């Protein structure tokens, strides 16, 4: 980066907030993809005005800007693949500005960690439901940029369902407000709607207003073991159709169950086709009991072979142990895990899983699957036995592409939670027409005519 630019940033932010040394660049060069791209600099804006000044300067000088959360993304959204300066909010813009008890909203800066907000609002008996697996370290700015999901989506929805308002800075330095602290607001275009999930490519978020709900007083956990995926999916459908929406309804397939049992010997049946784990919550014990009764009925009508309701927190933790340890257990099937977060309409889950079994057979890879049946979001894992065998790795990616094709053919999406970034960019053409891609490029131009904000991500 030219010295004149470095000097501008250091004059603006102070030398302690504008870094161009190898160590800082290295520290902000990677994300959960484990890929590395060195940025040209790392900036820590202190406030919205700093962001505005930085963007104005970068826009005039055609310097790429990469807004970055915690770098926990799975698709490279925050990687400086074309250089540029990384904007990090973790040093200064990491404050919870307001917990507004009357309107049940929180106002936060983008660098606040998801869990920090959850913990804070809990003190007031409130609840911020979106719970990406990264919630202990991912930032709310990143969550909004990627529209993060989580296990509680079936009942509580995802990040976009909680964003009430945003403040953001456009590439030209102008500050815009989008949305209000109100459920209803239909004045002008839904700017917040398009900023969510835009992967930092349209504007830089400077303030986020999030909806809170009352923290449910009670929660119960149930588990069902099924002979087949079809039976399990039938149980999911029946439960929902009878008006019970569990907080989460997670499934493990046979390969996942077998891997878990081999690793931990918890007595899971090796011949089971699927396990469902469901949490039900609410404020009234009678209502939870009623919900559990309906859930139990639905499971029995779907030929569950073993059904259990946890009597206490310990039993609930035991049940959840299986789901929480899925990801590490399946490592036994290969040392390279190509994991994707495809999502299909719930009704298509059996067909999806059958198709994946065929792909598994065709390519001779184990492909264990687990995830969120309540919302059709499946974590598929193409397990490549030897990551040092380039031919095998190539075949692995071919299998992934087939999984994507199958998903799209079933009305599903390339990504339920992780976004597109660079990892899934090559697959965008499977899911979007040229007209749709062109429209997205035009929207990008409307916000960012010089293409300085996280450019060339999402296949745009």
Site for a second copy in 9-68 (CB under 8 A): none
Distance (Å, whole) CA 296 – CA 239: 9
Structure tokens at 420: 């597109």
Rule CB under 8 A: say whether 170 interacts with a second copy: yes
Q: Which residue has the tokens 């989506």?
A: 153
Which of 160, 263, 395, 405 is the binder for a second copy (CB under 8 A)? 160
Distance (Å, whole) CA 78 – CA 178: 23
Residue 421 and residue 79 in contact, taking contact as beta carbons nearer than 8 Å: yes
CB of 27 to a second copy, least distance (A): 27
Rule CB under 8 A: say whether 72 interacts with a second copy: no
Residues 285-314: x/- map of binding to a second copy (CB under 8 A)?
Answer: -xx--xx-----------------------
CB of 433 to a second copy, least distance (A): 7
Please give the residues from 91 up to 110 whose contact with a second copy meets the rule CB under 8 A: 100-105
Rule CB under 8 A: say whether 361 interacts with a second copy: no
Q: Check the CA dihedral 236-114-177-58 and report its sign.
A: negative
Which of 184, 312, 314, 388 is the binder for a second copy (CB under 8 A)? 184
> Cβ atoms within 10 A of the Cβ of 173, count?
17
Rule CB under 8 A: say whether 417 interacts with a second copy: yes
Which of 273, 368, 416, 455 is the binder for a second copy (CB under 8 A)? 416
Residue 45 and residue 51 in contact, taking contact as beta carbons nearer than 8 Å: yes
Which of 188, 271, 312, 314 is the binder for a second copy (CB under 8 A)? 188
Which of 123, 189, 388, 391 is the binder for a second copy (CB under 8 A)? 189
Structure tokens at 51: 């962001």
Nearer to a second copy among residue 15 and residue 213 (C-beta): 213
Rule CB under 8 A: say whether 396 interacts with a second copy: no
Which of 91, 216, 332, 451 is the binder for a second copy (CB under 8 A)? 216
Rule CB under 8 A: say whether 331 interacts with a second copy: no
List C-alpha distances in Å: 45 to 11, 18, 89, 212. 12, 9, 7, 27
Rule CB under 8 A: say whether 140 interacts with a second copy: no
Rule CB under 8 A: say whether 283 interacts with a second copy: yes
Which of 98, 228, 432, 451 is the binder for a second copy (CB under 8 A)? 432
Residue 76 and residue 61 in contact, taking contact as beta carbons nearer than 8 Å: no
Nearer to a second copy among residue 168 and residue 384 (C-beta): 168
Q: Say how many Å lie between the first and final Cα of the chain, rounded.
A: 25
Distance (Å, whole) CA 15 – CA 5: 13
Which of 347, 386, 389, 394 is the binder for a second copy (CB under 8 A)? 347
Distance of alpha carbon 256 from the chain centroid = 21
Rule CB under 8 A: say whether 1 interacts with a second copy: no
Residue 209 and residue 107 in contact, taking contact as beta carbons nearer than 8 Å: yes
Distance (Å, whole) CA 374 – CA 68: 30
Which of 14, 22, 125, 426 is the binder for a second copy (CB under 8 A)? 125
CB of 199 to a second copy, least distance (A): 9
Distance (Å, whole) CA 129 – CA 115: 10
């Amino acid at each position: 980066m030219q010295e004149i630019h470095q000097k501008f940033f250091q004059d603006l932010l102070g030398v302690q907030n504008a870094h161009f040394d190898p160590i800082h660049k290295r520290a902000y060069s990677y994300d959960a993809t484990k890929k590395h791209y060195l940025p040209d600099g790392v900036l820590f804006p202190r406030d919205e005005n700093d962001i505005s000044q930085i963007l104005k300067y970068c826009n005039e000088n055609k310097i790429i800007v990469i807004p970055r959360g915690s770098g926990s993304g799975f698709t490279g959204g925050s990687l400086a693949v074309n250089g540029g300066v990384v904007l990090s909010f973790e040093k200064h813009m990491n404050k919870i500005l307001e917990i507004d008890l009357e309107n049940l909203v929180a106002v936060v800066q983008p660098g606040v960690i998801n869990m920090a907000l959850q913990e804070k609002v809990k003190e007031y008996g409130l609840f911020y439901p979106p719970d990406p697996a990264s919630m202990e370290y991912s930032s709310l700015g990143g969550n909004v940029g990627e529209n993060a999901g989580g296990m509680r989506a079936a009942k509580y929805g995802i990040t976009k369902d909680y964003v009430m308002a945003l403040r953001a800075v456009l590439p030209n330095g102008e500050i815009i407000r989008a949305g209000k602290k109100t459920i209803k607001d239909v004045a002008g275009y839904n700017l917040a709607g398009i900023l969510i999930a835009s992967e930092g490519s349209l504007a830089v978020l400077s303030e986020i207003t999030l909806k809170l709900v009352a923290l449910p007083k009670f929660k119960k956990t149930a588990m069902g073991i099924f002979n087949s995926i079809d039976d399990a999916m039938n149980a999911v459908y029946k439960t929902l159709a009878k008006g019970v929406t569990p907080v989460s309804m997670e499934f493990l397939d046979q390969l996942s169950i077998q891997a878990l049992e081999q690793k931990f010997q918890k007595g899971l049946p090796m011949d089971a086709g699927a396990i469902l784990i469901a949490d039900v919550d609410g404020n009234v014990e009678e209502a939870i009991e009623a919900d559990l009764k309906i859930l139990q009925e639905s499971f029995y009508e779907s030929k569950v072979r073993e059904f259990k309701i946890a009597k206490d927190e310990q039993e609930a933790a035991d049940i959840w142990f299986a789901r929480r340890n899925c990801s590490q257990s399946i490592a036994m099937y290969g040392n390279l895990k190509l994991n994707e977060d495809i999502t299909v309409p719930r009704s298509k889950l059996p067909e999806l899983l059958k198709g994946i079994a065929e792909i598994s057979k065709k390519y001779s890879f184990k492909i264990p699957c687990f995830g969120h049946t309540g919302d059709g979001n499946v974590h598929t894992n193409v397990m490549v036995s030897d990551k040092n065998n380039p031919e095998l790795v190539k075949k692995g990616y071919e299998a992934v592409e087939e999984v994507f094709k199958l998903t799209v053919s079933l009305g599903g999406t390339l990504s339920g939670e992780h976004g597109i970034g660079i990892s899934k960019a090559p697959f965008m053409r499977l899911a979007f027409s040229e007209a749709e891609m062109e429209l997205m490029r035009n929207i990008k131009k409307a916000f960012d005519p010089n293409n300085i904000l996280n450019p060339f991500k999402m296949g745009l």
